[in-house]
Structure 1
Amino acid sequence: MYFFDDDKMNGVFHVGRLDKDTEGLLLLTNDGEFEHKLMHPQEHIEKTYFFWALGSLDEENRKQLEQGIYIGKGEILTKPAKIEVHRCGMYKDFKHEMPIDNLNNIDSNQYNQPVVSGYLTITEGRNHQVKRMLKAAGCYVVYLKRVSIGGLMLDESMEKGRYRLLTEVEIKKLGIGRVI
């Protein structure tokens, strides 16, 4: 939202949120019903994130994520998620693929830190949920990018910080009906 002049927003607000260290798909609207249909947990709209994390995800960790996991004291179990591991191994083998300039958690002399990348799909929107879910499964997220909401995929041809109007086809892909 730092890219926009407050005086020209005319009631436009973000649909959901992204942490300041997370990038990717963020929708803007001035329609409260549109936002509610997309973000309310009862609507079960899937949001998919690509991540790189320090650590590894064994079969038990994956099952916890898929069945629901406790992410904080006094919180209820998360709704079941979908997890797809993309890459796993040692940092030294994947450091050239990770879109991260500086990792303070890795000793530069010892690159035998396990890392994992993948896609996590959730239907809720709790505070820092993806990071907290992966942390509860034994991983520390170092890169996070939202790549889809419902059936709408991030337009990878757009530069970071750019925006455009959705097409009617894209609005339909969100799975919430027609929005005017």
Structure 2
Amino acid sequence: MRLNKYIARSGYCSRRKADELIFDGLVTVDGQVCSNPATQVEPSVNEVRVSNKIINLIHNNDYLMLNKPIGYMSSLNDPHYDKFVIDLLPEKYNTVYPIGRLDVDSHGLLLLTNDGDLTYKLTHPKNNIVKEYIVSIDKKLNSEDLKKLESGVMIDNKYICKAKIKVHPSKNGFRYRVYISEGRNRQIRKMFAALGYEVIDLMRVAIEELSIGDLKTGEFRLLTESEIKYLEDL
């Protein structure tokens, strides 16, 4: 088995992140630093360590859906915050990690797993996985700006990001369904800000056809076998 795949299947991180760890010289095989992600390792024969921690394959992966509350970090640790999504789960799921990001001031659908291959599939830009959000802004979006959002808006002075926009019924008319296939940091907020709008609330409600449904804020559930297969087949 390839070294990067072994690390991913251990639940330590995604395969892409495993490549970075290997290139950074943080991975050893039988005590020797290994810098080649394609190095073949044999489970139960070779000892693989990441940052001097022995890792082993996980034979039964976990797949969870969480309705993330506002105020919780999607990362597993950050010295500037003390509330993390992993804290909302029972101890037995302490090997899972979030698939992708959802900002601390955003809420809604977040998937967690210890399946590195699935994480790679759902987060790699080449796969164009569509995420759906309900976004409330501070004023009505005019037709010209809607077209700009759909054709592409520059953020961070270097990225051209696009979104599909639909009006979402609301009392004030300032609510929209936003669909993106990229996942840049605070992308939707930055896209609207570039055109002079402030995002008041942002909730992710679906990843492709997988919807948050009636899952309550702060609650989680296991994915069904059919949902796991659906994600694997994307």
| SS of residue paired to 1:42 | helix
CA distances 1:38-75 after superposition (whole Å, capped 9, x unpaired): 111110000011011102211211111111110222x2
Corresponding residue of 2:98: 14
Within-5 A mapping of 1:102-121: 116-121=174-179
- Aligned equivalents of 1:173, 1:150: Cα separation in 2: 10
The ranges of structure 1 where at least 4 consecutive aligned residues each deviate by more than 4 angstroms after the TM superposition are none
2:159 corresponds to which letter in structure 1? I
Within-5 A mapping of 1:133-172: 133-156=191-214, 158-172=215-229
Does structure 2 conserve the Cα–Cα contact (< 8 Å) formed by 1:150 and 1:173? no
Unaligned runs of 5+ in 2: 1-84
Q: CA deviation at 1:173?
A: 4.1
CA distances 1:24-46 after superposition (whole Å, capped 9, x unpaired): 10001001110111111110000
| Larger RCO (alpha carbons 8 Å, 6+ apart) | 1
- Aligned equivalents of 1:177, 1:14: Cα separation in 2: 19
Corresponding residue of 1:77: 160
- Give TM-score scaled by structure 2 length: 0.59
Q: Max radius of gyration: which structure? A: 2
CA distances 1:71-120 after superposition (whole Å, capped 9, x unpaired): 222x2211x321012247xxxx63xxxxxxxxxxxxxxxxxxxx611111
Corresponding residue of 1:99: none
Corresponding residue of 1:125: 183
1:177 corresponds to which letter in structure 2? D
What is the root-mean-square deviation in Å for CA atoms of aligned residues?
Answer: 2.0
- Give TM-score scaled by structure 1 length: 0.75
Tell me the number of residue pairs that the alignment of Structure 1 and Structure 2 aligns.
Answer: 149
Q: 1:72 to 1:56 in 2, by over 3 A?
A: farther
Of 92, 102, 122, 1:38 maps to 122
Does structure 2 conserve the Cα–Cα contact (< 8 Å) formed by 1:84 and 1:120? yes
